[in-house]
Structure 1
Amino acid sequence: MENFNRLNDLYFKKLLGDKKRKNLTLSFLNGILNKDDENCFTDITFLDKDNEPLTLDGKLSKLDIRADLNDGTQVDIEVQVCPFKLMAERSLYYWSKMYSEQLEKGAEYKKLKKAIAINLLAFDYLEDEQDWHNIYNLLNVKSHNKLTDHIEIHFLELPKFTLKDMRKIRASEAWIAYFSGKYSKEELEEIAMTTPAIKEAVEFEDTFLQNKIERRAYEQREKAIRDYYSYMSAFKEEGLEQGLQEGITLGMKKANINTAINLLKLGVDVDTIVKGTGLSIQDVEALKIKIK
C-alpha cells in the first residue's frame, strides 16, 4: 500500500504496544536508548492506557505506550503527528506523572526508578537542533554535571532524519527509517539485513493490511486526520475560531460514527469499537440497534 502511514495510532500500537510482539518493542527501545548486548533490556510489561480523544490542543492521534522494563525502568512512548508548540511542557508533565505514580503513599524515595519519555514526532520541533535525535537530562547549568539519571526525555524528529550509510546502519536508525516512510520496501529489506526486527515489522505490516477489519479502521482514522486538517484550514481562513472548534468536533464525530457502523457490520464487538473510535458505549449500542 503506497503512502502507508506507520505513525497511524491504531497501527503503531498494534506493532509496538502488543505483548505478542514485545521483541519488536524491545528492539526499538534498545536501539533508541543505545543499549548493547551486555546492558540491553530483556523484558517489558505493558500498562494499558486508552488513546486520547481527537482535539484541537495537539492531541490528534497522540499515542501513549506505557511500560515497565525488566530493571524497573519506566518508559513512555508518545507519537505526535500534529505540530504542537508545547511538546516540551507536555512531555515533562507526562514524565512527572509516570515518575510520581511509582510510589504508593508512605513509600520510600529509594524505591523510585528511572523514567524515560520518548517522543516520536512527525514534524520539526527543536528549531536550534540539527540532529534528529536529542536527549535531555537534569544538569548543572555551569558544570553540566548530571544531578540524577532518573530523568531522560527523548525527541525523535522524523523530518530531520536522513540515512547516511545503509551498510553501517544502527538499530535506532533502522527503526526511524522504517517509521519515516522515506524508504521503499526494497530499501527496508536491505536495512533488515542488519536489523532483523525490521523484517518482522514489514511482515506484520503486510498482515495488517490484508486484514479487512484492521485496514478499514486504519483508513477511517486516516480520513479523520485529513478531515481535521481540512476543517482547520477552511475555518482558519475565515477567522472563525468558534466555528473551527465546532466544525472539527462535528467532523471527527461523524467520521467515528461511520467507523463504528462499518465495524458493527463486520461483527466487531462493542468494547473494541468504543476503544477504537472514542464513542461512548451508549452511542455504539444505539448505532447497533439502528442498523439492525
Structure 2
Amino acid sequence: MENFNRLNDLYFKKLLGDKKRKNLTLSFLNGILNKDDENCFTDITFLDKDNEPLTLDGKLSKLDIRADLNDGTQVDIEVQVCPFKLMAERSLYYWSKMYSEQLEKGAEYKKLKKAIAINLLAFDYLEDEQDWHNIYNLLNVKSYNKLTDHIEIHFLELPKFTLKDMRKIRASEAWIAYFSGKYSKEELEEIAMTTPAIKEAVEFEDTFLQNKIERRAYEQREKAIRDYYSYMSAFKEEGLEQGLQEGITLGMKKANINTAINLLKLGVDVDTIVKGTGLSIQDVEALKIKIK
C-alpha cells in the first residue's frame, strides 16, 4: 500500500505492543537505548493500560505501550502524530505516574526501578536540537553530574532523521528509517540485511494490509486524522479572519475616539461629534467628562 502510515496507532500497537511479536519490541528498545549483546534486554511483559480509543474516530494522537523489562525497568512508548506544544510536560507527567505506580502503600523506596519514557514524534518539537534522537536525565546544572539514573526521557523526531550510510546502519536507525516512511520497500529490504527485525516488520505489514478488517480499521483511523487536520486548519483560518476584522474595528474605534477628543477640545457640540465619528452619545459624553 503506497504511503502506508506506520505510525497509525492501530498498526503500531499491533506491531510492537503484542506479546506474539515481543522480539520486535525488544529489538526496537535495545536499538533506541543503545544496548549491546552483553547488556541488552532479553524479555518484556506488556502491561494492559486500556488506552485504545473508544471509537475509531476518537482519540487520535496518543498511543501508550507500557511494559516491564527483564531487569525491572519500566518503559513507556508513545507515538504522537499531531503537533503538541506541551509534549515535555505530558511526557514527564506520564513518566511520574509510571514511576510512582511501582510502589504499593508502605513499600520501601529501594524497590523503585528505572523508568524510561520514549516519545516517537511525527513532527519537529525541540527547536534548539538538530539531532533526531535526544535523551534527557536529571543533572546538576553546574557540574552536570547525574543525580540518579532512574529517570530517562527520549524524544525521537522523525522529520529530522536522515540515513547517512546504509552499510553502517545501527538498529535504532533501522527502526526510525522504517517508521519514517521515507524509504522504499527495496531500501527497507537492504536495511533488513543488517537488521533482521525489519524484515519481519515488513512481512507483518503485508499480512496486516491483506486483512480486510484490519485494513478497514486502519483507513478509518487515517480518515479521522485527516479530518482533524482539516477542521483545525478551517478553525485557524476562521480565527485569523475574525481577529483581523476585530483588529480593524478596534483600530477604527480608537481613531474615532481620538478625533472626538480633539473636536471636544475645540468646542464642537456633542451631536455633531456623534454624527462625524459614529460614536454613541454616551461615549462622547463620557469623553467630555474625562477631558475636563
TM-score range, shorter chain: 0.7 to 0.9
For the structure 1 residues 252 and 101, does the alpha-carbon distance in structure 2 shift closer, same or farther, using more than 3 Å as the test?
farther
What corresponds to 1:132 in structure 2?
Answer: 132
What is the percentage of aligned positions where both structures have the same residue? Answer: 100
> Residue 239 of structure 1: SS of its match in structure 2?
helix
TM-score by length of 2: 0.80
What corresponds to 1:83 in structure 2?
Answer: 83
CA–CA distance in structure 2, aligned partners of residues 264 and 203 of structure 1: 82
CA–CA distance in structure 1, aligned partners of residues 22 and 29 of structure 2: 10
For the structure 1 residues 112 and 157, does the alpha-carbon distance in structure 2 shift closer, same or farther, using more than 3 Å as the test?
same
Question: Does structure 2 conserve the Cα–Cα contact (< 8 Å) formed by 1:135 and 1:153?
Answer: yes
For the structure 1 residues 167 and 270, does the alpha-carbon distance in structure 2 shift closer, same or farther, using more than 3 Å as the test?
farther
CA–CA distance in structure 2, aligned partners of residues 52 and 90 of structure 1: 18
Structure 2 unaligned spans of 5+:
none
- Aligned residues: CA RMSD: 18.9
Question: Does structure 2 conserve the Cα–Cα contact (< 8 Å) formed by 1:232 and 1:248?
Answer: no
For the structure 1 residues 149 and 55, does the alpha-carbon distance in structure 2 shift closer, same or farther, using more than 3 Å as the test?
farther
The runs of at least 4 aligned residues of structure 1 exceeding 4 Å deviation read 52-59, 240-292
Question: Does structure 1 conserve the Cα–Cα contact (< 8 Å) formed by 2:60 and 2:224?
Answer: no
Structure 1 residue 201, shift from structure 2 partner: 0.1
Structure 1 residue 49, shift from structure 2 partner: 1.9
Structure 1 residue 51, shift from structure 2 partner: 2.9
Q: List per-residue Cα deviations over 1:80-99 (Å, max 9, x = no partner).
A: 00101100000000000000
Question: Does structure 2 conserve the Cα–Cα contact (< 8 Å) formed by 1:228 and 1:248?
Answer: no
Question: Does structure 2 conserve the Cα–Cα contact (< 8 Å) formed by 1:114 and 1:150?
Answer: yes
> Residue 194 of structure 2: SS of its match in structure 1?
coil
Query: Are 1:40 and 2:40 matched, yes or no?
Result: yes
Q: How many residues are aligned here?
A: 292
Structure 1 residue 235, shift from structure 2 partner: 2.1
CA–CA distance in structure 2, aligned partners of residues 192 and 173 of structure 1: 12
Structure 1 residue 233, shift from structure 2 partner: 1.2
Q: Greater CA deviation, 90-99 or 44-53?
A: 44-53
> Residue 104 of structure 1: SS of its match in structure 2?
coil
CA–CA distance in structure 2, aligned partners of residues 270 and 210 of structure 1: 79
CA–CA distance in structure 1, aligned partners of residues 5 and 168 of structure 2: 26
Structure 1 unaligned spans of 5+:
none
> Residue 290 of structure 2: SS of its match in structure 1?
helix
What corresponds to 2:250 in structure 1?
Answer: 250
Structure 1 residue 237, shift from structure 2 partner: 1.4
Structure 1 residue 231, shift from structure 2 partner: 1.2
For the structure 1 residues 136 and 169, does the alpha-carbon distance in structure 2 shift closer, same or farther, using more than 3 Å as the test?
same
Question: Does structure 1 conserve the Cα–Cα contact (< 8 Å) formed by 2:56 and 2:217?
Answer: no
> Residue 137 of structure 2: SS of its match in structure 1?
strand
Question: Does structure 2 conserve the Cα–Cα contact (< 8 Å) formed by 1:28 and 1:172?
Answer: yes
> Residue 247 of structure 1: SS of its match in structure 2?
helix
> Residue 56 of structure 1: SS of its match in structure 2?
coil
Question: Does structure 2 conserve the Cα–Cα contact (< 8 Å) formed by 1:235 and 1:241?
Answer: no
TM-score by length of 1: 0.80
Question: Does structure 1 conserve the Cα–Cα contact (< 8 Å) formed by 2:137 and 2:153?
Answer: yes
> Residue 34 of structure 1: SS of its match in structure 2?
coil
Q: Greater CA deviation, 102-111 or 59-68?
A: 59-68
For the structure 1 residues 289 and 76, does the alpha-carbon distance in structure 2 shift closer, same or farther, using more than 3 Å as the test?
farther
> Map of 1:15-164 to 2, 5 A cutoff?
15-51=15-51, 53=53, 60-164=60-164
For the structure 1 residues 122 and 71, does the alpha-carbon distance in structure 2 shift closer, same or farther, using more than 3 Å as the test?
same
For the structure 1 residues 142 and 50, does the alpha-carbon distance in structure 2 shift closer, same or farther, using more than 3 Å as the test?
same
Structure 1 residue 243, shift from structure 2 partner: 15
Structure 1 residue 232, shift from structure 2 partner: 1.3
> Residue 3 of structure 2: SS of its match in structure 1?
coil
Structure 1 residue 50, shift from structure 2 partner: 2.6
